[in-house]
Amino acid sequence: MKDISVLIGGRAGDGINSAGAVVAWLFSRLGYYVFVSTDYPSLIRGGHNITMVRAADHPVGAYSNRFDYLVALNQETLDRHASRCPDCIIVANADMVKKPGSGQTVPVGEIIKAESAPPVTGNSAMIGAFAKAAGIPWETVEAVFKAHLPKATDENLRVAQRAYGAVSTVRPVPVLDPVSRSLVTGNEAIGLGFAAGGLDSYIAYPMTPSSTLLHYLAANADILGITVFHPESEIAVILAGLGSAVGGKKTAVGTSGGGFCLMTEGLSFAGMAEIPIAIVVSQRTGPSTGLPTYTGQADLRFVLHAGQGEFPRLIVAPADAGEAYVWSDAALRLAWKYQVPAIVLSDKSLSESTYSVRYEDLALLPVPDDGTKGDTPDPYRRYLDTPTGISPLAFPGMAGAVVKTNSYSHDEDGITTEDASLVVTMTDKRRRKEKALADELDRLPCIGTGGKAGAPSALLCWGSTGNACNEVAAELGLRVIRPFVLSPFPERQFSEACTGVERLIAVEENATGQLVSLVKEHGRIVDDTVLKYDGRPFTPEELKKRVQEVLAS
């Protein structure tokens, strides 16, 4: 198998992310599947930033510990990372790196001066030099620049071409059969999934790592035909979102753990008032501010139990951009069909990483019409007690319907009540709705499996850790079991996936094994755990070593 990794490093503000994106497009043009991950501190300028690009002849969703190429925009990149790639090809900015070792240096300042180009084109010089060192044809570089650098394209190309001629090819990468694939971040895929599900409005306050979803949808609001709103706080976000949904607009909101804390009263309001809304919670390392720009999986128990009282909710946890597209679409549709809050539980690794996707290969889940269209019964009762628990959904201003939205205990008409029998009736109604949702989910593929089918030992995981787990399982001959849906938990499908498993090893990026406790509630005991909680995701090499230690114990 062909598997190539590139690390690009420099200071915040040096355009490390943009350089990584261009390198990713170069590999994509050569026919590779691509995965891009970023590592950066919570600083506007300064600090050390790296972008890791992994390209392979098979789908990848985790970055590697080892690198084949190191593109150093400053000395710190070389000092920090040269030990991770003793055999890698180094391409260094001669103006910033004074000890390049055996690497090739690029006189960036000299090239910019010779081309009368602005300093911002310096990264194009480094990309051109990397491309030559990797044996990437100039025609490919030119095509990528023209497609993805719409501003000052000619200047950037001149600088890149001069740098391309200043170094030699050292380790050429093989050219694969060209395949048309999109490069999409997890947050972009969530936004596109919502759009496929009929999104009308997206409301959010910027909070890493969910912020880029807000930026993406705002930049493309006209194309997607949606309204994007940025209120003053997360409390305003959830309340505006609920108001939008009550008014008949399919609405999603987005945040991270700290913002979701402020939304929990609104979440309970949605539960009692049966307001359909989709909520993106993109996890980062906590508690409190924690590590704002690093990843984690420590919010599962929180989103499972957030809000006072008992009410149904849908929680889905995709692993990559393709799944994020499919399950965000389904989450929005199911929220409206069953009139419940639906949570798309992401994390920094998924939200901000870039994946190769062919949307024609993705099949949306068969979620039937949400039932929000058609005539309303006469007389209209917002909370009509039905066999499924799902009431007819009308909106203010619809003919023949008086719509009352009530956060208090209420009767079928939405009139506040403290009558004991009515409280029980409405509680049972909501529970039947949860049962109906669970029954529909049972007809959808809610558990992902991978690795060696029928293997007696299995890795249990959720969300983005599934990518590293799939690689390790394939190498070690293990099975992978990964729930896509975490609430209502797909108990039957999970039990069937565990058939024949003698040793179940949970892999999670938290300190307490939160999925372990969830599956225990549903009758399955986990035998071992492999936990990581330093803000960094598992690499396949690290996870393989730790799983081997568990298997040997």
**374: pLDDT confidence band, cut at 50, 70 and 90?**
low
pLDDT for residue 371 = 57
Residue range(s) in the chain whose domain bears CATH number 3.40.920.10: 3-164
Residue with tokens 């309970």: 268
pLDDT for the residue numbered 152: 87
Q: Check residue 201 and give its pLDDT.
A: 98
Confidence band for 48, pLDDT divided at 50, 70 and 90: very high
**Between 278 and 11, residue with greater pLDDT:** 278
Multiple choice CATH, 181-444, 3.40.50.300, 3.40.50.970, 2.120.10.30, 3.40.50.720: 3.40.50.970
Which range among 1-10, 226-235, 366-375, 445-454 shows the weakest confidence by mean pLDDT?
366-375
402 and 380 in contact (C-beta within 8 Å)? yes
Task: Determine the pLDDT at residue 341.
Answer: 98
Domain with CATH 3.40.50.970 in the chain: 181-444
CA distances from 69 to 100, 118, 303 (A): 13, 26, 40
How many other CB atoms are found less than 10 A from the CB of residue 1?
A: 5
Query: What pLDDT, on the 0 to 100 scale, is given for residue 472?
Result: 98
CB of 216 within 8 A of CB of 228? no
What was the pLDDT predicted at 139? 97
Partners of 530 in the β-ladder? 507
Domain with CATH 3.40.50.920 in the chain: 447-552
How high does pLDDT run on average in the chain? 95
Closest CA to 539 of 33, 3, 1: 3
347: which residues sit within 8 A by CB, 6+ positions away?
209, 282, 283, 284, 295, 296, 297, 463, 464, 509
Distances (CA, A) of 452 to 155, 470, 477, 478: 51, 10, 5, 5
Model confidence pLDDT, tens digit, residues 72-106: 999 999 999 988 888 899 999 999 998 777 788 99
Q: Please give the structure tokens belonging to residue 405.
A: 């939205």
- Mean pLDDT calculated for residue range 501-516: 98
Strand partners of residue 34: 55
- The Cα-based distances of 90 to 10, 30, 102, 113, 526 in angstroms read 14, 21, 7, 24, 44
Q: Rounded to an integer, what distance in angstroms lies between the CA atom of residue 14 and that of residue 493?
A: 48
On whether the CB atoms of residues 295 and 535 are closer than 8 A, the answer is yes
CA dist 250 and 338 (Å) reads: 13
pLDDT tens for 292-332 read 999 999 999 999 999 999 999 999 999 999 999 999 999 99
Contacts of 75 by beta carbon, 8 Å cutoff, 6+ apart: 96, 97, 98, 99
- The tokens for 485 are 């849906």
The pLDDT tens digits for 169-183 are 999 999 999 888 999
Give the per-residue pLDDT at 183. Answer: 97
- 44 pLDDT above the threshold of 90: no
The Cα 489–Cα 484 span in angstroms is 9
Measured between alpha carbons, how far is 252 from 335 in angstroms, rounded to an integer?
A: 10
| Domain 447-552: CATH class, spelled out | alpha beta
pLDDT in the model for residue 400: 83
Residue 465 and residue 537 in contact, taking contact as beta carbons nearer than 8 Å? yes
70 near 20, Cβ under 8 Å?
A: no
**DSSP assignment, residue 312?**
-
My answer on whether omega of the bond before 41 falls inside 30° of 0, hence cis, is no
Query: Which tokens belong to 121?
Result: 């084109």
Q: What is the pLDDT of residues 377-405, one digit of tens each?
A: 789 999 999 999 999 999 998 888 899 99
Q: Is residue 369 pLDDT above 60, yes or no?
A: yes
As to burial, measured by CB atoms within 10 angstroms (0-12 exposed, 13-18 middle, 19+ buried), residue 287 is exposed
**R_g over Cα of the chain:** 25
Query: Closest by alpha carbon to 253, among 269, 235, 268, 271?
Result: 235
Q: Is the pLDDT of residue 158 over 80?
A: yes
CA dihedral 86, 92, 95, 101 (to 10 degrees): 30
Please give the share of the chain, as a percent, with pLDDT higher than 90.
Answer: 90
Q: What is the pLDDT of residue 325?
A: 98
pLDDT score, position 86:
84
Regarding the domain delimited by 3-164, which CATH topology (the fold level of the hierarchy) does it fall under? Pyruvate-ferredoxin Oxidoreductase; domain 3 (3.40.920)
Structure tokens, 281: 């919670």
Where would I find the beta strands (DSSP E) of 3-107? Answer: 3-11, 33-39, 48-56, 69-72, 89-93, 104-106
CA dihedral for 170, 13, 36, 225, sign (positive or negative): negative
- 370 pLDDT tier (thresholds 50, 70, 90): low
Count other C-beta atoms under 10 Å from residue 40's C-beta: 17
> What's the pLDDT at 83?
85
Q: At residue 112, does pLDDT exceed 70?
A: yes
Rounded CA gap, 431 and 236, in Å? 29
Q: What is the pLDDT of residue 103?
A: 84
User: Among 12-16, 343-347, 361-365, 529-533, which is the least confidently predicted range?
Assistant: 12-16
* Residues 60-67, mean pLDDT to the nearest whole number: 95
pLDDT digits (tens, 9 = 90+) for 440-473: 999 999 999 999 999 999 999 999 999 999 999 9
Q: Judging by DSSP bridges, how do beta strands 503-508 and 341-347 pair with one another?
A: unpaired
**Cα distance between residue 194 and residue 276, in whole Å:** 14
Give the pLDDT score at 373: 54
